[in-house]
Amino acid sequence: VVRQTQLRAVQARVMAEALHTEAQSMADSDVLTGLPNRRSFFRVMETALTGAGQTPFHLALIDLDGFKPINDIYGHSVGDTLLIEVGNRLRRVCGEQAFAARMGGDEFAIILYGDINAADLDAFGTQLCDALRDTYFLGGVTANISGSVGFVRCATDQLTASQLLERADYALYFAKQNLRGAPIVFTEKHETEMRDFSLVDQTLRTS
């Protein structure tokens, strides 16, 4: 009887741990694509920021070009299927060298580990955009979209997560306005433009 009681206690503990692990996994995953979600992304990025001085990385923000018309015309079911395929393609491109997450809607983010050079970053960005541009076959519907990407390099822990996101978002905005479906890396020129826009905005708000 004692052994049976102990066995049941062990089984109950194992089951409770398994349920806890499953619940934690669900809380950290995007329900639709299975990618890590926004919450999980920020936790991983904070960890990356802590060691950025020793291990630099690149942050990328991705926004799909042409997703909304497909979602509006063919419905959410087709739109969801497309997003699932986008998630699959991001996994294939990122492999072990990068962490991909869905931020919400048709927005995704990637943390690319390692202090890679400009040529390798360009190759990764091109591979990423090419993968997103390939035709989608969605159960009778054929769709073509692209993905604009904004990169920012982080080699210091002096920037916060929100500051990095702001810079990656600026590079993404530049891509969507000028080179839709292409990767753009945040530069010192963009930094100057952001600073100038901020000063103009402050002046208008206080005038």
User: Tens of pLDDT along 88-129?
Assistant: 999 999 998 999 999 999 999 999 998 899 999 999 999 999
Give the pLDDT confidence of 129-169 residue by residue, as tens digits: 999 999 999 988 999 999 999 999 998 777 888 999 999 99
The continuous run of DSSP H or E covering 101 comes out as strand 98-104
Which segments within 3-43 are labelled E, that is strand? none
pTM of the full predicted structure? 0.81
User: Which residue of the set 30, 65, 80, 106 is catalytic?
Assistant: 106
pLDDT of residue 18: 52
How far is Cα 114 from Cα 131, in angstroms, rounded to an integer?
Answer: 22
Can you spell out the DSSP letters for 161-181?
HHHHHHHHHHHHHHHHHHSTT
Give the separation between CA 116 and CA 154, rounded to whole angstroms.
Answer: 11
- Residue 31 gets which letter from DSSP? T
Give the model's confidence band at 20: pLDDT under 50 very low, under 70 low, under 90 confident, else very high: very low
Question: Are the beta carbons of 180 and 148 closer than 8 angstroms?
Answer: yes
Active site residue 196: no
